[in-house]
Amino acid sequence: MKSNYPNVYFAGDYFATVNMNPGVKVYTEKLVRDGPLELRTWDAFKSKLCGAMKKGLKTFPFGLGSKVLYLGASTGTTVSHLSDVVGRDGEIYAVEFSPQCLKSLLPLSESRSNIIPIHADARNPSEYAEVGAVDVVYQDVAQPDQDQILIKNAKMFLKPGGIAMICIKSQSIDVTKRPDEIFIQVLETLSGTFEIVEKLKLEPFDKDHLFVVCRLRT
């Protein structure tokens, strides 16, 4: 059954996406039949985007043909579901700094032509300037300057009025302060560049995380 999110379905209690690579799992997800469709269940404990969806996320800027810059792609769990969502005409530029994570991301990109892996530091967006304008910037980077990383990349790549999403990890910024203090501080910084559209705490899926949806000011 279709959900309210484009190209996302329900499979029991799970969100799920139509498997672009039928018969093949990416991580520990289940493959479920829905008529002629093969769905991949989307685990909210392994994907912060799915966790935000479970918490009632209203803004979902992904759809067939979307062009996405994904910062902090890791091994590709969430990237793989977005690959299903944007379809063969979409593009996901998956930036990852860790060589170990890239080892898992590369085989995924070989089986899914809409994933373009980039080994780079998201602090230096000039390293992948060839990406060009994108519809969405999605960031899941555990660094103290994660707000500045998003601002740099959005200013360089995001289309006017485009959507940026960030998973603010308070413990990666300052372990001596309460998470809510960190969230207020980061939101204040982001509000100079973005209009804050949504804010969702990710418990119980991820502790001390705030998922934020922003729109680039024009």
- CA gap 152, 186 in Å, rounded: 14
Q: Torsions phi, psi of 128, nearest 5?
A: -130, 40
Cis amide prior to 125 (ω within 30 degrees) = no
In the prediction, which pLDDT does 55 show?
Answer: 96
Q: Which residues of the chain have pLDDT under 70?
A: none
**What residue segments make up the domains of the chain, in order of their start?**
44-216
In the prediction, which pLDDT does 218 show?
Answer: 77
Determine contact, residues 96/118, Cβ cutoff 8 Å: yes
Given strand 134-139, what is the order of strands in its sheet? 115-119, 91-96, 67-71, 134-139, 158-169, 209-216, 194-201
186-197 residue pLDDT tens: 899 999 999 999
- CA gap 180, 170 in Å, rounded: 8
- CA gap 199, 179 in Å, rounded: 14
105-133 residue pLDDT tens: 999 999 999 999 999 999 999 999 999 99
pTM of the model: 0.94
In the prediction, which pLDDT does 120 show?
Answer: 96
215 vs 181, 200, 218, CA distance in Å? 22, 15, 9
Say which CATH superfamily domain 44-216 falls into: Vaccinia Virus protein VP39 (3.40.50.150)
